[in-house]
Amino acid sequence: MKQDIQHTEKFLKGLTNLTGLSYKKVQQYVKSNNPFNILEHPHIMEPSEKQLEKIGLLNEFISSYNILKVHESNDMITLNSSTVSGQYFLALLGGMKDKERFMVAFLDSGNNIIETKTMSEGSIGQTAVYPRQILKYALACDCNAVILAHNHPGGSQNFSQEDKTLAQRMVDIFHPIEIKVLDHIIVAGTNYTSMAEKGYISNQYKSAANYDAIVLGAVPAKEKRNSFQHTHAL
């Protein structure tokens, strides 16, 4: 117990030194709350714009460290299974609970990552994705395949209809130029779900290329209705 207190104190001092948050305010908050909430939900501390920027940089550093730690024995990161892909994006998106972020990993012929790029970032409830931008970066890095991923801040592990539509739309766009859409990963808290594992990824195009933006919601509509009905019943 004493060690836990000591480590917590070190964490808080490091956090306040790196972000500029008030140590007294942070210490008061963690008396009855999880200290990780400060990083995962930074607005609870009412940070200044500069402090919020520093918290964002700290989160990016932690994500990068997690990725390097997982793959420290490899020179290249290879996403050759849904499990590896899920763990990779879980390290990047697992701690993000205040906004929805959509990312794409662009892969070479050996499924090694050429680049992983954040394509859009929205609110806690939704983010807009632009297929034309994804195509642009895929052509620029001369990739052979892509893996899509985004987080659900609300914790849902289910794919919405928009999630499925986006995956198929990217298949329709990439199929004629022989770029494969291998998977679409949903990250929800400390868990992830693979669209490929669920059988939702098709290798065949179904319609002409459509470059219209798609707005991804954090929670499928059915779950929203069920949640509302349950709350209302209570």
Please name the fold of domain 76-227: Cytidine Deaminase; domain 2 (3.40.140)
Amino acid identity of residue 178, one-letter, is E
SS3 199: coil
Please list, in sequence order, all residues whose beta carbon lies within 8 angstroms of the beta carbon of residue 133, skipping any fewer than 6 positions away: 119
Domain positions in the chain are 2-63, 76-227
Mean pLDDT for the chain overall? 86
- Percent of the residues in the chain that have a pLDDT greater than 70, as a whole number: 89
Q: Vertex 8, ends 4 and 13: CA angle to 5°?
A: 150
pLDDT at 89 over 70: yes
Q: How confident is the model at residue 73 (pLDDT cuts 50, 70, 90)?
A: low
Lowest mean pLDDT segment, chosen from 32-41, 97-106, 207-216: 207-216
pTM over 0.75: no
Residue 197 has pLDDT above 90, yes or no: yes
